[in-house]
Each structure stands twice: as C-alpha cells, then as structure tokens.
Chain A
Amino acid sequence: MTAFLTTIIVLFIAVAIWQMVKIFDLAQVGNTNSQVANDKDNTINGYLMIGFLIFIYVITIVCFVKWGDLPLMSNSASAHGPQIDNLMIISMVIIFIVQTITQFLLHYFAYKYKGEKGRKALFYADNNTLEAIWTIIPVIVLAGLIIYGLFTWTSIMNIDEDEDPLVIELYAQQFNWTARYAGDDNVLGMANVRLIDIDKANVLGIDESDPNGHDDVIVKELHLPVGRPVLFKMRSQDVLHSAYMPHFRAQMNCVPGMITQFGFTPTITTEEMRQNPDIIDKVAHINEIRVENSEAVEARGQDLRYEFDYLLLCNKICGKSHYNMQMKIIVETQEEYDAWMKEQKTFKESL
C-alpha cells in the first residue's frame, strides 16, 4: 500500500513539474515573438557563464578541501608507492593549471563577446603560429609525462628475482580470497583446478605429487614481513577477479587459465600505520560516523568500532557478492611473521 501511495506521489510530482513547465511555456505566448536569442538573452546567459565559471572553481576548491586528503589515503605503504604518488601529484598539478586557465578563457570569452545587435564579429579564420604553439606545448609536456610514466611503470613491473622475493599465491574464487605461501623452499607447488579435491581438502588443486607443494601453506589472512620484497602469483578458479591493494598502490587481474603476477615491498607495518596521525584522524572520523549510524552498522553484523587494516579488495566485477570480496592484510616485523608462520600447517600436514 505504501509502495502504491509513494509511486502515486512521485507521479504527481512529475506531473506537477510537467504542468509548471507548461504554464511557464504558455505564459510566454505574445511575450516573445522569436525563439532565436536576442540581446537580452545574450546578456543574461553571458553573466550566467561567469556564474558557472565561479561554480566550477568553487566546486573544485570544496572538493579539494573536503576530500583532497582522501586520495593519498594518508601515505602509501610500499616501496614503489611514493613513485606513483609523485607522478600523480605532478599530473594533478598540470591538470589543475590547464583546467583553471582553459575554463577561464572559455567562459570569459563567452561572457565578453556576448552578442549585440549590429556588431560584427572579427573575420579570423587561421593563424599557423598560434596553432603551432598550442600543438608544441602539449607535445613537450606530454613527452615529459610519458617518459616519467614509462620509467615508473618499468621499474614497478620489473621483478628482480635476485632479491629473493617471498613468493605468495593469491587465489581468487567467487567470492573470497585464499593465499598460498611457497614454504621453506620458496617454490610454489604445481596446481590446476582440475586437481581440486574437496574431500581431501585440496581446495586449490595443488599437485600432490609435486614435492615443491608439500611445504606450501594455505591461509585466509595475508601476513607480510615488512621490508622484504613479495612476489604475488595470481590465479582464479572461476571468473575474472582483480587483486586490488590500494594502500600498496598494487593491482593485478586474476585470470582463469593463466598465472599473473605483481611484486612490491611493504614498508610500513600495520601497527606503525595505525600510529600515523593522518590515519588516526581518518579512523576517528570514520568511528564518529559509525556511532551516528550505529543501528545500521549493527544490523549489518559489523563491529561498531573500526580499526585500521590493510585490505585486499576484488576490483573486477565477479558476480552477486563482488562488493564484499575481501581479505585482511597484516604487515608485521620479520619475528612476528616467523612466529605466525610457525603456527600454520603445511599442505602435506593438512591433507
């Protein structure tokens, strides 16, 4: 019944707007004798152009002041993170300058040269020098950005096997993550979804005859020792997923039928990050919001209090529960990591 009533109300509002527009429309009959803009229209819209320019500037400033600290998410937590953040800031500054100037020229000209009856525009069709200038300037700026970007990209994607990275498999399925550590030998056992045997708890399809797999460790929470390079090997058992670790500026798709990889070095432990003043502020702010909405939060079955943790999110549409496909990441000291690892069962033990 409420649904019906509300639908009716929404319909009434739409009809009301329609009718108001109609009245507005009819009220003009005889008022104007042309639907072509006259000097009055030109003047009003010219001023509105300036108003709109101000609106664009205001919305830019408001966004930066209110939400400008969000993008940085208070510091990256990986060795390559600052490279990306630097490039991002440089790009943002360039964009900001170009945006401010071009929007000004566009809207200011629209105001300044608003039409007047009897005035004639300047017949000005071409100027090769001007066009050369605004071709060459973008060329130079972009050349700089391209070169900087390519160096950054290459250094991020180039994985140095000599550094002895910790090898971890990230295994995606609808709708959760599993991690597999390569164990003492740091070599992952061969695996294929065809070897999955639920009865024997071989959920990742590890080849039982491959000795490299015997010491592999399968867990549902990702622990990383700080300062040691990590090489992730991604796999998916069903559809595309994407392993997105925004705090570490890391992302790679998980593709069924192939193994993809991404490597980085975590630089800040979870504990250290929680002590970061920016993060303390952010967490306090989030907790305020959660207290305000405590009913809704509890209805979801979540803890009211939020504590900062690194996260692995799924960032490629993968079905119904895509929005809730996550895994906690804990960055800790080597000793804590070793202690944690000791408690885990190897693949062979778990069979």
Chain B
Amino acid sequence: MSAHADIHAHDDDHGHHHKETFVTKYIFSQDHKMIAKQYLITGTIMGVIGILMSMMFRMQIAWPEEPNVLFEALLGKWAPEGVMDADIYLALVTIHGTIMVFFVLTAGLSGTFSNLLIPLQIGARDMASGFLNMVSYWLFFLSSVIMVLSLFVEAGPAAAGWTIYPPLSALPMAQGGSGAGMTLWLVSMAIFIASSLLGSLNYIVTVLNLRTKGMSMTRLPLTIWAFFITAIIGVISFPVLLSAALLLIMDRSFGTSFFLSDIFIQGEVLHYQGGSPVLFEHLFWFLGHPEVYIVLLPALGITSEIIATNSRKPIFGYRAMVASILAIAFLSTIVWGHHMFISGMNPFLGSVFTFTTLLIAIPSAVKAFNYITTLWKGNLQMNPAMLFSIGLVSTFITGGLTGIILGDSALDINVHDTYFVVAHFHLVMGISALYGMFAGIYHWFPKMFGRMLNKRLGYVHFWTTAVCAYGVFFPMHFIGMAGLPRRYYTNSAFPLFDDLADVNVIITVFALVGGVFQLVFLYNFFSSIFFGKKAEKNPWKSNTLEWTTPVEHIHGNWPGEIPHVHRWAYDYSKPGHDEDYVPQNVPMKDGEEELQH
C-alpha cells in the first residue's frame, strides 16, 4: 500500500526528487526499466553459454569418434586428447536444458518484458513493489552465478538430464555429476524459484491494482494478458517444484526416503525404503508442463502485439485470444501426466491425460488461425520484429502439430524419449519462445535503450536463423520415428542406427551455422546500445501507452500526469481517422463507436 501511495506522490513532482548514485541507478536499481535491462543482459549471457553447449554436443553426436580440439580447449580434463567424455556429454545436455528453459526463456524472456511492459503498458509509475522487484532480479543473478559455478565442480556438473529424475540425481555413486554438481544445481534452482515467485507476485499485483484510469481489463493489450496469466501459472506451479527440490535435498543429504526405495548399487544395499521415483515425476511435471506455457505465453503475447502493430490491423478476435490464453493456462495444469505415460503409473490415468492433453490443441489452433487472419488484408510492415513474429507462428504450428502424436498415449509408447520429442519441444517452445524473445527485443529496443537496432542485420539474423532452425529440427523428427533414443552419447553402439549418421551430420551443420549467425545479433545488440541511430518517440506508430513516454528514461515513466485510456490497444486503420493508428490515450471522437470486444 505504501508503494502505491508513494507512486501517486510522484504525480506532483514528476518523480525527479530522488538523488541517484551509480549504484542505485545501475546496480541495485528499483526502477522496472533498469531491472528489465538487467534481466535481458543476464539472460543473453546465459543464452550464449547454453547455445555454445548445444553446439559442442551436436558436434559429438555427428562426429563421435573424432578428437576435436575445441573440446580439448574448452572441456580440459573432460576431453582427454580431444575426445569428449560420456559424463560431460550428459552434463552438457543437462545444463543446456536447464539454462535455456529457466534462465533464458523464463527469466530472460518473462523477466525482461514483464518488467519493461507491465508498468508502461498499463500506465503505472513502476511495479507495485520496486524493492521486491530488485530482490527478484538479484536472486536470479545469484542463481545464475551458482549454476555457472557448478560447471567447475571436480566430479562434474549435474548430468541427470534437466528433469533430474531420482535415483540417478540422488546418488553420487550412480553418476559423478550427482555429487556436489547436483547439490549446486538444486540450490541454484531453489533460489531461482524464489526469484520467480517474487517477480510473479509483483506482476499480478501490479496488473490488478495499478492500471491507469480507463484501462479496464478488456482494454489491456494482449501482452499484458499473457504476462498476467503467465505469472498466475508460475505462482501455482513453481512452489511444487520447490517442494520436489527440497524433498530431493532431504533424500540426498538427510537420509529420508521420499523418492527412493530398494536400491542396490556398487555392491551394497542402500537403506532407502518405501519412496517412489514416480512421485518425483508427478511433482516435477506438475511444474514442468505449465513451465512450457510459462515460456510460451509471453512469446505469444509479444507476437500478438507485434503482428497487430505491423499489420496495421486490429488483432483478430481479441476476446478469443484472451479466452484461449485462459483455456491454455487452465489446461496446462492438468496435463502433466502425458510425460509419464510409460512411467509405470496406472494406464487409466494415461487415458485421462491423453484426453486433457489433446484438448490443448483447440485453443492453440484458435490462436494460430487468428494470427493468420490478422495478416489477411493487412498492410504488413516487414520490420525484423514482424519477421520473427511470423516465424514464431510458423514454428508454433509445425511444432504444435506433432504434439497430437506425443499427447496420444498409444503413440507415445514408441516415440517417448526419442529424438521425435526433442524435435517437437524445441520447435514448439524452444524456437518459438526464442523467436518471441527476439521479436520483443527488436520491437522494444528503442524503448529500452533509446536507440534503434540495425534493420538489415536484423534481416540477415532472421533469415539465417529461420532456415537453420528448420534445418536442425525438421529432420530430427525422422530419426526419432526411426527409434533413436535421446541422450545417447554416441549412436555407434547400435549398428541399427548407422544409416542415421548422415542425418545427424546435416543437423549438426545447420546447428553450427545457425549458432555462429547469432553473432550477427550479438553485434547488432551491443553496438546499437552505444552507437545505434537515435530512436523517435513512437518509431513503429504503435497504439500502446509505452510509446507515449519520453525516449530518455525517467523515474516514474511520465513527466506529467499518467495518460488516461479511452480505447482498446488495437485501433489500427480505423475508418474515420486520418492516421492508420489511434493511440489508447486519444479520446473518442463524437459519435465514434468503441468496438464491442
């Protein structure tokens, strides 16, 4: 409440009275715009690490027997004479997954854009609690540092897969990485979850309480709807992962038996009795599946906004878009069992989860069709952000469709844990969410840094990435359908798979090229922060409120009064107006009808 009152106090003196030092402005900042930038930069660094790891293990899969000097240089003792060790291969896969899902696509994507856009688009001076927001970022930073440090543990980093199923993750004698490496992984994730919860609570409270006058829930831009619902799913599901992690820590360090029972390993019987690894799977996927939507929904929200702006058209079916976000969010919490069809749980449960899972295809289909219809008869401005948004719709469709196969318990029997799964989720949540993040960066870079990204480098970046993403993940479906399991250090132990070796080489080449071309983006990003063309106030001619703020960031966002909102965010090309956009703060003309949405 005090924060609320404080924010209103700014209305009188324009929020300039704080004396800011370097530390309060750039490091322990409580300003949501600075925190967004901190999230983005940290997420980008983690992304570079995650992508480098994937390039390394792709090289191992394509050329398994060949010594690679890169391995020798980067992995040291884990690649004697340049040949990658099997343990470090599993560790790379594990940490790649963890970093990309949580640190890049949850914190990097949601953290950046929820922080930047929620106050700016709803017309608030800042987040409900700037202090919690700052704590949330620094907890995220701390967890990132711990995760990176865990790479240098003597016995190796966590290597049980990003799903860390016990007993493999619980027993140091089962795997080197399950010692100190796994301890650090769990500590890092526990801190990460705390950070995520603080952030989510802040987003929810801010959206509910701090909307400007006239900004009813039905006038919210779809970005805000997506961030809002994402935060709610996070608050519901992340604590369950926290409890799973805590119970696993108890099993590992204090001798309890929540997840372990009847284990004989390395010549001795362990004392554990009565626990079940399947319980862990339930707890993990109760977060794990909603997590997919925590990653994806913000990307879809960003895309909705960018496609409407750049099509110069209202988003088609605003109500249906909101309804489908709600439907996806609700369904996402009751489908986790489709990761466990063959885990040994009762087959009847498999039937239930097949039913709920396939239902998700309906709201997803509505979203895809609405995006396509938004393009129809538009006046498409092909900015890099728009290209990434169209790319997202494309990969969302391609990746989403194979979900019909994986969500069907009968079909899952044969493709479970094969490369088919890897292809599916990388397209539908990995690449799609990454595109959403790129789209957001290209679109809101002017708002964040007051400068423009170079559009031509953006085009090069998009087209190379788009070709490589399909080149990597499309053929991957086929080796999966051929029965090739994921997480195999090399496929050469099975002559059966020898005829897949050439596909794996093709995939790896696309992955390496695609990875290297991300340098174009990194260059564009970091050089434009300092040398980019100065941005105008509203470069994309957009309707939402963030473009009414001055280019130079000020504490409190608007120098004068907070603008009032008179219409929804999508009055593009509305008949009766000269311009092809009508910002939300422009009052209705006499006799102008507000669309009934």
A-side residues, CB < 8 A to B, are 2-7, 10, 14, 17-18, 21-22, 24-25, 28, 32, 34-37, 41-42, 44-46, 48-49, 52, 55-56, 59-60, 63, 67-68, 70-71, 73, 83-84, 87-88, 91-92, 94-95, 98-99, 102-103, 105-107, 109-110, 113-116, 119-127, 130-131, 134-135, 138-139, 142, 145-146, 149-150, 152-154, 156-158, 173-174, 192-194, 196, 198, 205, 234, 237-240, 242, 244, 246, 249-253, 255-258, 260, 262, 282, 285-286, 289-290, 296, 299-300, 302, 306, 311, 313-324, 326
Tell me the B339-390 residues at the A interface (CB within 8 Å). 342-344, 347, 350-351, 354-355, 358-359, 361-362, 365-366, 368-373, 375-383, 386-387, 390
> Within 8 Å CB of A296, what residues of B?
65, 492
> Within 8 Å CB of A311, what residues of B?
494, 496
Question: Known contacts being A21-B519, A42-B382, is A88 close to B362, with CB within 8 Å?
Answer: no
Tell me the B238-291 residues at the A interface (CB within 8 Å). 260-265, 267, 269, 273-278
Q: Is the CB of B482 within 8 A of A70?
A: yes
**Complex partner residue of B373 from A6, A59, A130, CB under 8 angstroms:** A130
Question: Known contacts being A196-B264, A311-B494, is A35 close to B533, with CB within 8 Å?
Answer: yes
Q: Is the CB of A21 within 8 A of B457?
A: yes
> Within 8 Å CB of B540, what residues of A?
36
State in angstroms the CA–CA spacing of A70 and B574 once bound together.
Answer: 53
State in angstroms the CA–CA spacing of A339 and B265 once bound together.
Answer: 35
> Within 8 Å CB of B380, what residues of A?
42, 46, 110, 113-115
**Complex partner residue of A59 from B377, B474, B487, B493, CB under 8 angstroms:** B474
> Within 8 Å CB of A282, what residues of B?
499
State in angstroms the CA–CA spacing of A34 and B534 once bound together.
Answer: 10
Q: How far is the CB of B325 from chain A (nearest CB, A)?
A: 15
Apart from A36-B383, A131-B366, A319-B90, what 8 extra A-B contacts exist at CB < 8 Å? A7-B73, A56-B398, A102-B372, A107-B390, A124-B316, A135-B365, A142-B404, A145-B408
* Chain B interface size range: 35 or more
**Complex partner residue of B316 from A95, A125, A240, CB under 8 angstroms:** A125
Question: Known contacts being A14-B516, A36-B455, A240-B168, is A121 close to B261, with CB within 8 Å?
Answer: no
Judge whether B41 is part of the interface by a CB distance below 8 angstroms.
Answer: no
State in angstroms the CA–CA spacing of A186 and B480 once bound together.
Answer: 36
Judge whether B161 is part of the interface by a CB distance below 8 angstroms.
Answer: yes
Q: Is the CB of B260 within 8 A of A256?
A: yes
Judge whether B17 is part of the interface by a CB distance below 8 angstroms.
Answer: no
B-side residues, CB < 8 A to A, are 65, 69-70, 72-73, 82, 86-87, 90, 160-161, 165-168, 171, 174-175, 260-265, 267, 269, 273-278, 311-320, 342-344, 347, 350-351, 354-355, 358-359, 361-362, 365-366, 368-373, 375-383, 386-387, 390, 393-394, 397-398, 401-402, 404-405, 408-411, 413-414, 416-418, 452-457, 459, 463, 466-467, 470-471, 474-475, 477-479, 481-483, 485, 487-496, 498-501, 503, 516, 519-520, 523-524, 527, 532-533, 539-540, 570, 572-575, 580, 595, 597
**Complex partner residue of B262 from A126, A256, A313, A324, CB under 8 angstroms:** A256
> Within 8 Å CB of A113, what residues of B?
311, 375-380
Q: Is the CB of B276 within 8 A of A36?
A: no
Closest to B456 in A: A28
State in angstroms the CA–CA spacing of A83 and B483 once bound together.
Answer: 17
Most buried by B among A121, A134, A146, A194: A121
**Complex partner residue of A315 from B273, B319, B358, B416, CB under 8 angstroms:** B416
Closest to B386 in A: A37
Q: How far is the CB of B379 from chain A (nearest CB, A)?
A: 4
> Within 8 Å CB of A103, what residues of B?
394, 397-398
Closest to B497 in A: A286
State in angstroms the CA–CA spacing of A249 and B383 once bound together.
Answer: 47
Q: Is the CB of A289 within 8 A of B70?
A: no
Q: Is the CB of B342 within 8 A of A253?
A: yes
> Within 8 Å CB of A34, what residues of B?
533
Q: Is the CB of A326 within 8 A of B493?
A: yes
State in angstroms the CA–CA spacing of A311 and B497 once bound together.
Answer: 12
Which 7 A-B residue pairs are closest in the complex by CB-CB distance?
A257-B261, A71-B481, A246-B483, A157-B347, A35-B452, A260-B344, A45-B382
> Within 8 Å CB of A63, what residues of B?
474-475, 477-478
> Within 8 Å CB of B166, what residues of A?
239
**Complex partner residue of B265 from A158, A174, A242, A299, CB under 8 angstroms:** A174
State in angstroms the CA–CA spacing of A193 and B457 once bound together.
Answer: 61
Q: Is the CB of A138 within 8 A of B312?
A: no
State in angstroms the CA–CA spacing of A24 and B386 once bound together.
Answer: 22
State in angstroms the CA–CA spacing of A48 and B379 once bound together.
Answer: 17
State in angstroms the CA–CA spacing of A316 and B174 once bound together.
Answer: 14
> Within 8 Å CB of A7, what residues of B?
69-70, 73
Closest to B178 in A: A319
**Complex partner residue of A323 from B278, B318, B361, B491, CB under 8 angstroms:** B491
> Within 8 Å CB of A145, what residues of B?
358, 404, 408
**Complex partner residue of A286 from B167, B362, B495, B597, CB under 8 angstroms:** B495
> Within 8 Å CB of A4, what residues of B?
73
Q: Is the CB of A25 within 8 A of B527?
A: yes
State in angstroms the CA–CA spacing of A192 and B387 once bound together.
Answer: 59
Question: Known contacts being A67-B479, A323-B490, is A286 close to B375, with CB within 8 Å?
Answer: no
19 A-B pairs (CB sep. < 8 Å): A25-B524, A36-B539, A63-B477, A67-B503, A71-B478, A87-B410, A98-B401, A113-B376, A131-B370, A192-B262, A194-B264, A246-B483, A257-B260, A257-B274, A258-B276, A286-B498, A300-B492, A320-B175, A323-B493
Q: How far is the CB of B10 from chain A (nearest CB, A)?
A: 32
Closest to A43 in B: B382
> Within 8 Å CB of B516, what residues of A?
14, 17
Q: Is the CB of A242 within 8 A of B417?
A: yes
> Within 8 Å CB of B262, what residues of A?
192-194, 237, 256-257
State in angstroms the CA–CA spacing of A149 and B352 once bound together.
Answer: 11
Closest to B257 in A: A257
> Within 8 Å CB of A106, what residues of B?
371-372, 375, 390, 393-394, 397
**Complex partner residue of B362 from A139, A239, A324, CB under 8 angstroms:** A139
Q: Is the CB of A255 within 8 A of B401?
A: no
Q: How far is the CB of B220 from chain A (nearest CB, A)?
A: 16
**Complex partner residue of A120 from B351, B454, B520, B573, CB under 8 angstroms:** B573
Q: Is the CB of B494 within 8 A of A326?
A: yes
> Within 8 Å CB of A6, what residues of B?
69-70, 73
> Within 8 Å CB of A286, what residues of B?
495-496, 498-499
> Within 8 Å CB of B373, what residues of A?
124, 130
> Within 8 Å CB of A99, what residues of B?
397-398, 401
> Within 8 Å CB of B313, what residues of A?
121-124
Q: How far is the CB of B340 from chain A (nearest CB, A)?
A: 9
Question: Known contacts being A121-B573, A323-B488, is A238 close to B411, with CB within 8 Å?
Answer: no
